Structure 1
Amino acid sequence: MRFRIDQPLLRTAAAFSGDLHFNLRLLREAVGEAHVFGADLSDEEFTRFQHVDWELLPPGSTDRVVAQLTSRGPINPEKLKVAQERLSVLDRLGHDGFIFGKGRFARYFGARFGDRLVVLENLEYGNALYMFDENWEQLTQLSRTELIKRRDASVHRIPHLPGWQSAVRKAVRSL
């Protein structure tokens, strides 16, 4: 469902910024969310947009990711230690910012490398690290089973077996 404000907003108008912010606040208050799209965006083009339940955090915010992981409910100390170790591996690779899952992705975290490459981790036992070198916004909407079945060349699965850190380092450098 899409709600629109029918007030024309011209970027060149003196009141543009104030009117834009007012309309965004109005939509957030009325329906809980608001985004800005061009007036010529068709309904068909709009349906191609997907909301991704991820929060992007700046580089160097390892403590903030850990704090958010622990704020979601009880997390045992062993899982917390694993999360900190995996975050430090990503931190040493020179990423462009952390990604922290929200909603159904609440136990996921990872890092962005450039505009295309995203590495995601999960705290649940048996989960592998996933690297997406294209379309991560769409691909992360799929379940783990769907990702594996797709055999998509832009999705790289690295199990947490001995040497996984080297495999991630190599993959980040090559992609």
Structure 2
Amino acid sequence: MITNVKRIRNWQKYSKHIPNGEQVFIGLEITDELMDDLQKIGFEDNLIPGRAICPSPELGRVSKFNAEGRLVKQRNLPKETAYRQVHWEWQTWDGQWHSGWRDVPYQRYPRKLIDPPSEYLTIIERGGKKFIVVSGSFVQGEIDGGVPTHKVNLMLELFGKADVLRQDMQAFIVPKLIKVNWRIIPEGELPWSQSKERLASYFQRVSASKLPLVKQRLETISKYQPEFIAQGVDGYRGYLVFGFTRHNLFVLESPEYGNATYVFEGDWKQVSQLTKAEILAGNLHKHRVVHMTSWEKEIEQILKPALIMNLV
């Protein structure tokens, strides 16, 4: 279900879960909630299957484009002479006033008509239920993305929501989003001397003046034997997380953000799904150790108990 937006720009964003070759309808199951909107469009109460209506251009911008098309300025072409009609009044030599319409020339860029899609809303019935769909189905991956984008936007304008339906009118199941914000380095234990070789891209982001201090901090955390190191990817570049999973502690270090080391408590699944805003907000961490001369001592107080328990 596509909701909470007035229109979409890119069909691909909403169709990644649909296999190519699938027959797709854009529509909605008809419920009491939709009846007022359906009547505004022109459907009668009995909703006879097969009834089809092209929405009036007065219902909104998308409906207007659907019914009438759109004129697009061609700014890459030389201007042309066009005419607008204006109402004119003038007085002749005998003192009489006259009025009429005149064509007044002006210069403008040529216009190109984008043909109207002329999509119809159609009532169909499947399994004893009625649905309102935009014209016919289309095959995913075989048409220009602008076609389904327009279909969705028409539904959003008229009903405030749209569903992506199979041929049997069942909704496509959207897989649960799994955010991959971190790359584990490594799975299992490696000495810091080997782990840091895999962090070359991380160190490249650090200025030469900061690099010795950054390496020193990372080596300090590593001596407490974390089970893994996770490097941020994509929007999380610049972050490292040291995971002490047996103690449910996760140390987040970054030379770029916050001027501090953050220690989170919980399990890795929860910590790894934190947004950058949540990380930087400062209200979810257990400890915040500012990058000052006392930093190493404070880190020792937090992590030394974990090291002792590892050795027991």
TM-score between both structures, scaled by the size of structure 1: 0.60
Distance in 1 (CA, whole Å) between partners of 2:216 and 2:230 is 16
Q: State which drifts further: 162-171 or 83-92.
A: 162-171
Change (3 A) 1:70 1:163: closer
Give the match for residue 69 of structure 1: 202
Distance 1:140 1:119, change over 3 A: farther
Whether the 8 Å CA contact 2:181–2:272 is kept in 1: the answer is no
Q: Give the alignment partner of residue 138 of structure 1, picking from 258, 273, 283.
A: 273
SS in 2 for 1:132: strand
In 2, the alpha carbon distance for the partners of 1:172 and 1:4 equals 47
Q: Which has the higher contact order (CA 8 A, sep 6+)?
A: 2
Corresponding residue to 1:107 among 233, 238, 262: 238
Conserved 8 A contact 2:227-2:245 = yes
1:118-129 aligned within 5 A: 118-124=250-256, 127-129=259-261
Q: Which structure 2 residues correspond to residues 21-100 of structure 1 after superposition, within 5 A?
A: 47=176, 49-58=177-186, 59-60=190-191, 61-65=195-199, 67-71=200-204, 75-100=206-231
What per-residue deviation string (whole Å, max 9, x for no partner) do you get for residues 69-97 of structure 1?
A: 1455xx42122212211111111111112
Does 2:291 match 1:160?
yes
Amino acid at match of 2:221: L
CA–CA distance in 2 between the matches of 1:4 and 1:126? 40
Give 5+ residue unaligned stretches, structure 2.
1-13, 20-172, 307-312
Contact kept? 2:236, 2:276, Cα under 8 Å = no
Higher alpha-carbon Rg: 2
The answer to whether the Cα contact below 8 Å between 1:158 and 1:167 also exists between their aligned partners in 2 is: yes
Please report the RMSD computed on the Cα atoms of aligned residues, expressed in angstroms: 3.0
Larger fraction in strand:
2
Shift of 1:174: 4.9
Query: Could you list the per-position Cα deviations for residues 89-145 of structure 1 after superposition, in whole angstroms to 9, with x for gaps in the alignment?
Result: 111111112111111221111311125321111112751101111131133543444
Q: Does 1:3 align with 2:135?
A: no
Structure 1 regions of 5+ residues with no counterpart? 6-42
Give the TM-score taking structure 2 as reference length: 0.36
Cα distance in structure 1, aligned partners of 2:226 and 2:250: 9
Tell me the amino acid that sits aligned with residue 209 of structure 2.
E
Alignment: residue pair count: 131
Q: Segments of 4+ in structure 1 off by > 4 A? A: none
